[in-house]
């Protein structure tokens, strides 16, 4: 697991948050109701929208700065803004897929403040134990070894939890 603080900077994050607010009534949102059944379960709603190419470029630059991708590597990055509502969560699963030797996932946390009692903790299993990472402004969690993982349910008094989900493939 790679945990990076100050991943991309407040300006980028404020822009994504502003767009999330401005676009809330636009016809651009998908939801977790389309996820496979094992991970939708009885979760509350998660809204999802794709980020623009200019944002993908900024995210790619930040990934290079922090050494998540090497200078000579080309990647195909897919980035989405997620808006998590009360009672939303993801049960235990692995992202492992048939093409998984080339597919990676990371989560960037956007909320300027997060109370750990609101839930939304990232859990993963390592060395026989369960470990947790709490959301924090501009923190990136990169599950580089594909540990089984989950997120804990948002409390009913939690504000929307904003994150950016990154999936990428290294092109050979």
The residues, ordered by sequence, that sit 6+ positions from 139 with a Cβ below 8 Å of its Cβ are 3, 4, 5, 7, 108, 109, 133
| Min separation Cβ 109 and Fe ion, Å | 15
Judged by CB under 5 A, does residue 95 bind Fe ion?
yes
- Tokens, residue 113: 């403040």
Pick 17 or 166: Cβ nearer Fe ion: 166
Pick 57 or 97: Cβ nearer Fe ion: 97
Site for Fe ion, residues 29 to 88, rule: CB under 5 A: none
Which residue minimizes CB distance to Fe ion?
95
Give the residue ranges of DSSP H helices in the chain: 10-22, 37-40, 53-65
* Interface region with Fe ion, contact rule CB under 5 A, candidates 4-12, 72-80, 89-97, 163-171: 89-97
Q: How far apart, in whole angstroms, are the C-alpha atoms of residue 20 and residue 47?
A: 10
Pick 35 or 115: Cβ nearer Fe ion: 35
| Min separation Cβ 149 and Fe ion, Å | 6
Pick 27 or 98: Cβ nearer Fe ion: 98
HEC-encoded secondary structure of 116-145 = HHHCCCEEEEECCEEEEECCCCCCEEECCC
Alpha-carbon Rg for the chain, nearest whole angstrom, is 15
User: Footprint of Fe ion on this chain (CB under 5 A)?
Assistant: 95
């Amino acid at each position: 697991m790679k945990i990076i603080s100050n991943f991309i900077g407040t300006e980028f994050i404020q822009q994504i948050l502003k767009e999330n607010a401005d676009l809330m009534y636009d016809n651009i949102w998908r939801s977790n109701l389309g996820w496979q059944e094992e991970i939708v379960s009885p979760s509350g709603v998660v809204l999802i929208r794709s980020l623009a190419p200019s944002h993908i470029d900024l995210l790619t630059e930040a990934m290079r700065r922090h050494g998540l991708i090497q200078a000579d590597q080309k990647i195909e990055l897919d980035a989405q803004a997620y808006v998590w509502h009360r009672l939303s969560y993801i049960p235990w699963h692995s992202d492992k897929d048939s093409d998984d030797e080339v597919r990676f996932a990371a989560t960037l946390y956007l909320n300027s403040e997060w109370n750990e009692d609101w839930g939304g903790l990232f859990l993963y299993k390592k060395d026989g134990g369960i470990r947790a990472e709490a959301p924090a402004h501009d923190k990136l969690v990169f599950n580089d070894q594909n540990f089984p993982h989950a997120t804990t349910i948002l409390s009913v008094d939690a504000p929307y939890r904003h994150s950016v989900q990154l999936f990428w493939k290294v092109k050979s």
